[in-house]
Amino acid sequence: MPVKVLARAKTRLSAAAGPHREALALAVAADTVAAALRCDRVQSVIVVTDDPLPAAELAALGAAVVPDEPDAGLNPALVHGAQRSRAIAPHTGVGAISADLPALRPDELARVLDAAARLPVAFVPDAAGVGTTLYTARPGVPFSPAFGGDSRTAHRARGAGELLLDGIDSVRRDVDTLDDLKAALTLGLGPRTTAVAARLPALGDSVGTAG
């Protein structure tokens, strides 16, 4: 799981989040990590980050944290994390998941991972149908993610199987904009994101009544 340096995270939410932007970015990542760790199909979560604040908080939740040693962009960071994972558990599959899934449900993630395990390489498109929220590779299969931009098309072009299951909205709902956050709110935000979102005037009185 890649986690940006907080100073550069969730910039498209700057207007809505104001002084709470960094706290919101951290809360979203923490809720994503916590949900992933509660999924019984997940053996471990490796966070790739160079920011000491999320590194400490996510490690306290149970994630293994590694620095972004390549420091060459998102996909090299994910490959680095996958290499560390395979060094620890070479006979298990690996996956890259977005760090901005604050409504993530462990049972929905489990359904996705069960489906992914039947394919050499698989991915889940985001709710907008343009990006990707999850990319997986079975043991021994090259791990070659193409996150960023129109990654749905890129992953299809690389032969990854697209997972379009019913009832996995929380796995597809990443949050980059205020509208994304509102949509995630209707699914039910994790507790840390809920606490920060409640301080955002743009959400009015909706926090705590949705989901």
Q: What is the pLDDT of residue 168?
A: 98
Mind listing the pLDDT tens digit for each residue in 160-201?
999 999 999 999 999 999 999 999 999 999 999 999 999 999
Number of domains in the chain: 1
Q: What is the pLDDT of residue 210?
A: 43
Q: What is the pLDDT of residue 70?
A: 82
Task: Tell me the pLDDT band of 205, cut-offs 50, 70 and 90.
Answer: confident
Q: Does residue 208 form part of some domain?
A: no
Domain enclosing residue 168, as ranges = 6-203
Helix (H, G, I), strand (E, B) or coil at 85: helix
- Report the distance separating Cα 116 and Cα 29, nearest Å: 23
Query: By CB neighbour count within 10 A (0-12 exposed, 13-18 middle, 19+ buried), where does 8 fall?
Result: exposed
Average pLDDT over residues 33-61: 97
Q: Which spans in the chain are helix H?
A: 14-17, 21-38, 52-61, 74-88, 106-116, 151-157, 169-172, 178-187, 191-197
Q: Residue 2 gets which letter from DSSP?
A: B
Q: Does residue 77 form part of some domain?
A: yes
Average pLDDT over residues 99-112: 98
- Report the distance separating Cα 35 and Cα 33, nearest Å: 5
CATH number at residue 146: 3.90.550.10
Mind listing the pLDDT tens digit for each residue in 67-80?
998 888 999 999 99
Overall pTM > 0.85: yes
Q: What is the pLDDT of residue 69?
A: 84
Residue scoring higher pLDDT (48 or 89):
48
